Amino acid sequence: MAANEGVSLGFKIYILLVLTLNATGYILLIRYTRSQSGPLYSSTTTVLLTEISKLLISLLLLIKEHRSVLGMCKDVWNNVITNPRDSFKMCVPSIIYAIQNNLAFVALSNLDAATYQVSYQMKVITTAIFMVIMLNKSLSRTQWVAIVLLFLGVAMVQVESASSNKSTDIHYNYPVGVVCILISCLCSGFAGVYFEKVLKGTDTSLWIRNVQMYLFGIVSGIVAVFSKDGEVILEQGFLHGYNYLVWIIVAMASIGGLYTSIVVKYTDNIIKGFSTAVSIILAAVGSFLLFQKTFGLIFLLGTGLVISAVYLYSLPKPAPAKLASQPKEPV
């Protein structure tokens, strides 16, 4: 917490509100737009536009950091363009994040927002596994308890969702949605830990790393657009099916990526954990109000376990016990 002592309570509340409302709105909007009748927009184009938007935001932040466009250009030239070996370190997470972002659209096309948000918290488990393997980090007893509670909670939610989704709703395909979430959680865990390892292994700034990652993200996004939706785009146009809600989704995805970086740099995991817990509740309320989704007792109990697990996992590790001081020898 020492690194966060200079951060005011008002700033933390502001970050919490932005993260919570943005994450909830993003999930509900994707679910809403993917269940509407009429021409459906291509998720690959949305992901590509998001990567472009995040790159532009990162460049603007670099301009603010250097207080000049020239300073930003020099920084990008020296650390990105003329240093391809270092830049290629971000190729791996950028491709994985692109896959993950596209899978989110597929999952939310086949599951309700509340089930998606609760199940997606399995990324805590995959992240913990990769942290132990790749960073040689140890988990506290509280974190292990949180992982067990999380697994039980998600399992309870899946039990109810599997039975309740045997409906006539043509937009639901429960097995496809669950598989997409499982792959997304693996992608999120590996990419997040990989990014942390690269970030802490060098002196390169966070924003330059973001520029490197988003550049590769744009390349992988272009490949995904033409490999998956190329024929449709050539026939109907790049922005077919777009409306103001889809543009809001792009904006929310960009804001989410930016503020996640701010959380890493300026605040702590408690803020992110609490934001996730509140977002789960709001997603459930939104699913009830917008899509008339009802929840049984097993779902509610499982959700409660997941929220508790996320909170417990985000708590700081207890400080190691100090060795008892040795008695002084008599003079």
- pLDDT score, position 264: 61
Is the per-residue pLDDT at 15 higher than 50? yes
Mean pLDDT over each residue of the chain, to the nearest integer? 82
Instruction: Give the closest residue to 92 by CA, choosing from 130, 139, 49, 121.
Output: 130
pLDDT confidence bin for 7, thresholds 50/70/90: low
Is the per-residue pLDDT at 276 higher than 70? yes
The percentage of residues in the chain with a pLDDT greater than 70, rounded to a whole number, is 85
Section 235-246 average pLDDT: 91
Is the per-residue pLDDT at 218 higher than 80? yes
Is the per-residue pLDDT at 270 higher than 90? no
Section 222-248 average pLDDT: 91
Kind and range of the H or E run holding 319: none
Minimum mean pLDDT range among 29-43, 109-123, 223-237, 269-283: 269-283
Q: What is the value of pTM for the model shown?
A: 0.80
pLDDT confidence bin for 168, thresholds 50/70/90: very low
- pLDDT score, position 56: 93
Count of other CB atoms within 10 angstroms of residue 233: 17
3-state SS class at 292: coil
pLDDT confidence bin for 2, thresholds 50/70/90: very low
Section 149-177 average pLDDT: 72
For 56-113, the pLDDT digits (tens) are: 998 998 998 888 999 999 999 998 998 888 888 889 888 898 898 899 889 888 888 8
Higher pLDDT, 301 or 172: 301
* 137 contact partners, CB below 8 Å, separation of at least 6: 131
Q: How far is residue 5's CA from residue 137's CA, in Å, rounded to a whole number? A: 24
Q: What type of residue sits at position 298?
A: I
- pLDDT score, position 3: 45
Q: At what angle do helices 269-291 and 244-266 cross, to 10 degrees?
A: 160
Dihedral (Cα; 247, 251, 254, 260), 10-degree rounding: -140
List alpha helices for the chain, DSSP H: 9-34, 43-66, 69-76, 84-87, 91-108, 113-119, 123-135, 141-164, 174-201, 206-228, 230-236, 244-266, 269-291, 297-314
pLDDT confidence bin for 250, thresholds 50/70/90: very high
Section 224-252 average pLDDT: 91
Section 259-286 average pLDDT: 71
Task: Locate 143 and state its tokens.
Answer: 């974190």
